[in-house]
Structure 1
């Protein structure tokens, strides 16, 4: 049964840095872990000039690249709407845990990642689903929390608060 947890925070809070430290710890506990990252802008995972890039730019709806080491599937939305988080999760292979970075307004449980030097406000209660905090200072509300550099503590929060994808009451997605 795949469980999901999110890391949510403003840009510069340290979500990606924390993710890169968390993954080896969780995988080292015998878990299969996948990630899903939302980008707020146009992004490209392909290299201009490569065959796959040329296929996509020529109008292919989907381009799959495969080798003995990995495969990747790129889908151009063109005029189609952006897929919802549940739709994206349904396309992923089964795993013990999926950690989502972004999609902060969706219904899945999230750990708020906060860095005081960022000068940004706390996300709760405006953002739904925040169940714990990873920060370099104590949060202004009573939720389980760990320091940003306490990777074991944050990993424990992840495992304690991740929920089965099937148990989440997904609502119409707002802004990501």
Structure 2
């Protein structure tokens, strides 16, 4: 599976761009999965539901399934946080995995940068950032080899991602 990341500070627009890229890429015939890192405690379960009760009672994993979807929740219970590679290995095969966050992992990334955040760009200190989507002028010089896009250039960004990971621009079926 091909991996490509979206990196940037909180509030930069990573999720907004991600949800615009997914239909662009799937519309070209690609099977796309996403993997998102959360820096905080999160819960996909609802208190009071049976699955939540199973998990809080001490189950290491709880799998919930219906005719529409299934979800597997895994409690770390003090174990180390899994690596990006560990998590990718748990995904079903697809053409492309878009990774949101994991900005320190060595995968090719597009940095999303907004002036209003008041944060320094990541690209000067991260050689895995291969492109930049920004909402205006940056406070540092952009190297000649770093592709730059406006934040709303979804079609061009999708084409760049596909070319960068070696997938044809028109799409192809997922090879399981």
Shared fold by TM > 0.5? Answer: yes
Structure 2 CA distance for aligned equivalents of residues 134 and 56 of structure 1:
40
Q: Residue 163 and residue 60 in structure 1: after superposition, are their counterparts in 2 closer, same or farther (change >3 A)?
A: farther
**Taking structure 1 as the reference length, what is the TM-score of the superposition?**
0.89
Structure 2 CA distance for aligned equivalents of residues 105 and 163 of structure 1:
22
Aligned pair count? 163
Deviation at 1:71, TM superposition (A): 0.2
Secondary structure of residue in 1 paired with 2:120? coil
Secondary structure of residue in 1 paired with 2:125? coil
Deviation by residue 1:79-130 (Cα, 9 ceiling, x = unmatched):
1000000011011000000000000000110000111121111001223410
Which residue of structure 1 aligns with residue 107 of structure 2? 108
Deviation at 1:138, TM superposition (A): 4.8
Which residue of structure 1 aligns with residue 154 of structure 2? 151
Deviation by residue 1:144-165 (Cα, 9 ceiling, x = unmatched):
111101111111221122369x
Q: Counterparts of 1:69-88 in structure 2 under 5 Å?
A: 69-88=68-87
Contact 1:6 1:109 (8 Å CA) reproduced: yes
In structure 1, runs of 5+ residues without a counterpart are 165-176
In structure 2, runs of 5+ residues without a counterpart are 168-176
Which residue of structure 2 aligns with residue 41 of structure 1? 40
Secondary structure of residue in 2 paired with 1:125? helix
Moved more, 108-117 or 30-39: 108-117
**Taking structure 2 as the reference length, what is the TM-score of the superposition?**
0.89
Structure 2 CA distance for aligned equivalents of residues 152 and 87 of structure 1:
31
Contact 1:147 1:154 (8 Å CA) reproduced: no
Secondary structure of residue in 2 paired with 1:145? strand
Q: Does 1:130 align with 2:129?
A: yes
